[in-house]
Amino acid sequence: MAPSTPLDGLDKAVFQELVASFGFQMTPQDEADYFALVKAMEDEVHEVEAMPAYVDPRLVPHVALPVSARTYTVPDKKDNPLNAWSHRFTLKDDAAVATGILAGRTVALKDTISVAGIPLTLGTHPYQLTASADVPYPVPTIDAPVVTRLVESGGVIVGTSTCENFCMSGLSDTSATGPVDNPWLKGYAAGGSSSGSGVLTAIPAVQKWRQKRSLPTNKEQLGEGVDMAIGGDQGGSIRLPAAYSGIYGLKPTHGLVPYTGIGALHPICDHAGPIASSVSDVALLLSAIAGHDGIDPRSSPETPLRKNVPAYHKLLEAAIAEKEAGGAWTPTTAGKGLRVGLLKEALALPQLDPSVAAVVRAAAAKFESLGATVVDVSAPLHSRGSAIWTAAMRGAMADVFLASKAPDLHAFTTTEVSPPIMTQAWYETMTKASPMVVTAVLGSAYMGDTARFPHRYRNKAVSHVAQLRAAYDALLEDVDVLLLPVTPSVSPPHMIKAAGEASAASTLEMYQAHLGVSDNTAPFNITGHPALAMPGGWALAADSEDGKLPVGIQLVGKHHDEVGVLMAASIWEVAGLGLDEEGHSPGP
């Protein structure tokens, strides 16, 4: 690995050390010439570094509320009993509220999304994001495109939501502010890393479910929620919170929703998308935020520009209306013509709880009762999906999520975030809070060393990403959607009980628990297929005598067939919502 260059410039000694690291032997003239050439490169880098910062005019803060007028609060515990809120503020355009498709619906944003004037935490401590221990959280100077689109669509953004520490957890107890509690059962995971977005969206849904059954709504124990939220999903981070919290979360086709201005894990797996309490609201929110922004390199030639984005909610309504008009929207006929593939390998994972498998198989039977055709399908490579996910990005991942490395293609990456200083204190703090982050740092340093792992290793992994995508595509030629579990079990109890408190579990146990929940979700992050998590039923909670928690089912469709996935979900619910089956939760 090449030595670091002093900040005061390249000198002959450092250059000679650089040459020696390659084993090169140079003549004096060549050494002088190459030194001059490398020094010229450095001078140009410093020249650019000295230029004034540039902000793409498409990312300027929304004029509805100038940055100078944007204020925020950090909610007290009494106003944030589940620890789902990060910062509270209000951002809206009154004219758009009156005319836009969101019409005043309240929205929370995962705390990885840039909002000008509002601190950005990425779920970690402020000193992990800045160069000095006494500097507060960085404050973005831009509004991410999803923020602008929400405001323009009439949404009322009411705050940012707690997320996992650097988003490296599928559970919900690693945030610097402490565990985020499941709204159905306090002390249990809410799913991550978009933990707060899932919980805040679930709060009204839980209250509605309890009120319908004449149970206490537990308003004080739950706190204030929202109508809908935006999450980020790199390995399941929208779908896992949705499944654990009994709501709906869509990871759209890769690049459909712009990721510009959002804290990244790696461009190959980054997705942003809607979290809501109904299929129709997922479609509505997707209509508000989808479309290429002209900046994000994650989009593909198939990604529509913003002006060409279909009205997903209207297309869904029209498809349902067509069936209704033909008298086919009934509990025995709604599924006619729909082909569902039950993915064999997803139900064969060794860690899958039998109760979850039973809910998924019952979901398949429900599709059949609705008139759909359900067949068993097989993609053997699915069982290696998580390994391919790892091999395709782990070597560079820490540079992206810790140091904000921009994609190699044209993109806009925030410059407010500085990489943490890797000291012993950093190691001890992060090992206690989230050993997944430390593992990512060590793994990226080791796997990113091209002396050990030449680029051909990742090149081969990326070719297997294409192979995995082709395997799912082949199945989706014969079926409309794939059906499989989201999580291997219902929500487990928290492993970390309070902020700053070490878990009784070992580092290895922590890692396996927090990242071992994504084997059925992460493969679709690298293949880019749209995938929806929705409530499918109930299963008994661990360490509870009679408390039950939601089980999520997952529907996966063809690229850019979000309407088809949402329609399949709507069909399934004609025979009853997934949480209509009686489950009992003691409450939070």
pLDDT at site 129 = 87
How far apart CA 214 and CA 323 sit, in angstroms, is 34
In this structure, are 279 and 369 located in the same domain? yes
Q: What is the pLDDT of residues 55-94, one digit of tens each?
A: 889 999 999 999 999 999 999 999 999 999 999 999 999 9
pLDDT at site 133 = 66
Catalytic residue among 193, 299, 386, 518: 193
In this structure, are 282 and 348 located in the same domain? yes
Is 193 designated active site? yes
Residue 5 lies in a domain: no
Residue 544 lies in a domain: yes
In this structure, are 239 and 312 located in the same domain? yes
| Burial track 346-367 (b if 16+ CB lie within 10 A, e otherwise) | bbebeebbeebbebbebbbebb
In this structure, are 66 and 43 located in the same domain? no
Question: Using an 8 Å Cβ cutoff, are 230 and 259 in contact?
Answer: no
pLDDT at site 1 = 37
Residue 581 lies in a domain: no
Widest CA span in the chain: 87
Q: How many residues does the chain have?
A: 588
Q: What is the pLDDT of residues 531-555, one digit of tens each?
A: 999 999 999 998 877 689 999 999 9
In this structure, are 370 and 396 located in the same domain? yes
Is 237 designated active site? yes
CA atoms within 13 A on the CB side of 369: 12
Query: For residue 551, what are the domain limits?
Result: 57-492+501-558+566-571
Residue range 443-457: average pLDDT?
Answer: 86
Catalytic residue among 86, 92, 110, 444: 110
**Does residue 585 carry a pLDDT above 70?**
no
In this structure, are 127 and 78 located in the same domain? yes
Q: 198 in helix, strand or coil?
A: helix
In this structure, are 80 and 43 located in the same domain? no
Residue 546 lies in a domain: yes
Catalytic residue among 172, 237, 299, 444: 237
145-152 helix and 279-289 helix, angle to the nearest 10 degrees? 110
Residue 580 lies in a domain: no
Is 287 designated active site? no
In this structure, are 42 and 129 located in the same domain? no
> For residues 39 and 241, which has the higher predicted lDDT (pLDDT)?
241
In this structure, are 32 and 75 located in the same domain? no
Kindly indicate the confidence band of residue 560, based on its pLDDT and cuts at 50, 70 and 90.
Answer: very high
Beta bridge partners, 156, equal 106
Residue 320 lies in a domain: yes
How far apart CA 380 and CA 475 sit, in angstroms, is 12
Cβ-in-10-Å burial (0-12, 13-18, 19+) of 250 comes to buried
In this structure, are 198 and 79 located in the same domain? yes
How far apart CA 279 and CA 163 sit, in angstroms, is 23
Q: What is the pLDDT of residues 117-145, one digit of tens each?
A: 999 999 999 988 876 667 799 999 999 99
Q: What is the pLDDT of residues 38-66, one digit of tens each?
A: 899 889 888 888 898 888 899 999 999 99
Residue 160 lies in a domain: yes
In this structure, are 64 and 34 located in the same domain? no
Q: How many domains does the chain have?
A: 2
Residue 40 lies in a domain: yes
Q: What is the pLDDT of residues 392-431, one digit of tens each?
A: 988 888 888 887 788 887 787 766 777 777 888 889 989 9
Mean pLDDT estimate for the chain: 93
Residue range 331-353: average pLDDT?
Answer: 97
User: What value does the CA radius of gyration of the chain take, rounded to a whole number of Å?
Assistant: 24
In this structure, are 448 and 299 located in the same domain? yes
CATH classification at residue 226: 3.90.1300.10
Kindly indicate the confidence band of residue 584, based on its pLDDT and cuts at 50, 70 and 90.
Answer: low
- Measured from the Cβ of residue 412, the count of other Cβ atoms closer than 10 Å reads 21
Taking CA atoms, 34 is separated from 16, 18, 31, 38, 242, in Å, by 10, 11, 5, 6, 56
pLDDT at site 586 = 55
Closest CA to 349 of 253, 489, 210: 489
312-325 helix and 562-573 helix, angle to the nearest 10 degrees? 50
